[in-house]
Amino acid sequence: MRLLTAAVTTVALALGAQIASAAPIEIKFSHVVAENTPKGKMALKFKELVEERVGDEVTVSVFPNSQLFGDNKVLEAMLLGDVQMAAPSLSKFQKYTTQLQVFDLPFLFEDMAAVDRFQQSETGQELLNSLNKRGLVGLGYLHNGMKQMSANEPLRVPADASGKKFRIMTSDVLQAQFEEVDAVPLKKPFSEVFTLLQTKAIDGAENPWSNIYSKKFHEVQPYITETNHGLLDYMVVTSAEFWNGLDDDLRVEIKKALDEAIAYGNQISGEQAAADRQAIIDSGRSEVIEITAEERQKWVDAMKPVWKQFEDEIGADLIDAALKSNE
């Protein structure tokens, strides 16, 4: 009897030790921008909320500045289980779905309020599922903002871009957009943009204010034209394998924390864009060019044929639904 009691005690102690030492689940969140951007701040807010609420079960490690993966590798890494969350730009999902290309169409959204309306609409929410068949789960949209065009010479009308090399994200829509103005688009990773600009291997780029400022692109681009011609927003994604493998209660807690972190990121994105724009002007390193309505219309006329070009791939209904968000 004494032997039996001792055996039971030993097993109980061992189990207890095992439970006590069960390591928390680690969510690695990988992204490519700086910490002082809407995405950088959102990721840190997510870490804070998760660890505050379920820190004994889950930890979040945030890897900014392409420290862990660039956007060209991160989704593959996610499917292999090497990273659990990321928020690539909507321009970077082309290999997984053509539907999200709707967000790249130039001059489609009048402002960020229209973008927000579309993302929160039934159609926008359905698009979060467009990656499911490829093993990825869209968890929400995050704003950065509208893109501006920068170059080593002033860009006022489309003819000014002719023959110039522009870095673009990995999107065929963005490639077509620059081809429409006879420029030379080059798909390059975000981590290489500063050096490419600094060494003049390329002439220009398109970026939202927070990316220009946080990565100091304005120090190597003497002119930034305020075109607001396109969108740079994100989708926060995870893998179906990771997400569905979580206990239901924990998944609910993590999603709640993420929704709150995204709401925070979206709320600060507008103020951040305005502040970074002003900081660039104040730095005196780059001239911010405000174009006239007539000049802007020339860019619209030159780039809009891209819509027709991608209508079949994206779907005319989807383009119409996005356009309706302007009303």
User: Which chain residues interact with ligand LMR by CB under 6 A?
Assistant: 32-33, 71, 89, 144, 169, 190, 211, 232
The residue among 87 and 321 lying less far from ligand LMR, judged by its C-beta, is 87
Cα–Cα distance between 129 and 124 in angstroms, integer? 10
Strand 136-151 and strand 223-239: pairing? Answer: antiparallel
Give the sign of the dihedral formed by CA 32, CA 187, CA 213, CA 139.
Answer: negative
For ligand LMR, the closer of residues 71 and 203 by Cβ is: 71
Closest by CA to 124, choosing from 100, 89, 92, is: 100
CB of 215 to ligand LMR, least distance (A): 9
What are the structure tokens assigned to 106, written together?
């130039």
Least Cβ distance, residue 52 to ligand LMR (angstroms): 26
Shortest Cβ distance from residue 324 to ligand LMR (Å)?
26
CA pseudo-torsion sign 161, 152, 201, 107: negative
The letter for the amino acid at 251 is R
- Rounded CA-CA distance 232/214 in Å is 15
Among residues 58 and 234, whose Cβ is nearest to ligand LMR?
234
CB of 29 to ligand LMR, least distance (A): 13
Cβ closer to ligand LMR: 32 or 258? 32
Task: Report DSSP state, residue 290.
Answer: P
Q: Which is nearer to ligand LMR, 157 or 173 (CB)?
A: 173
- Nearest approach, Cβ of 75 to ligand LMR (angstroms)? 13
Identity of the residue, 133 or 187, whose beta carbon is nearer to ligand LMR in the bound complex: 187
Residue 58 or residue 105: which is nearer to ligand LMR going by CB?
A: 105
Q: Quick check: 115 and 109 in contact, CB under 8 A?
A: yes
Sign of the Cα pseudo-torsion (182, 187, 191, 195, in order): negative
Cβ distance to ligand LMR smaller for residue 175 or 211: 211
| Pairing assessment for the beta strands 165-168 and 204-208 based on DSSP bridges | parallel
Q: What does the block give as tokens for 68? A: 């862990």
The least distance separating ligand LMR from the CB of residue 9, rounded to whole angstroms, comes to 55
Q: CB 48 → ligand LMR: shortest distance, Å?
A: 21
Element containing residue 115 per DSSP (H, E): helix 112-120
CB of residue 190 vs ligand LMR: minimum separation in angstroms? 3
Alpha helix ranges (H) inside 128-247? 172-179, 193-198, 209-214, 240-245
Q: Following DSSP, what letter does each residue of 63-103 receive, concatenated?
A: E-TTSS--HHHHHHHHHTTS-SEE--BGGG-TTT-SGGGGG
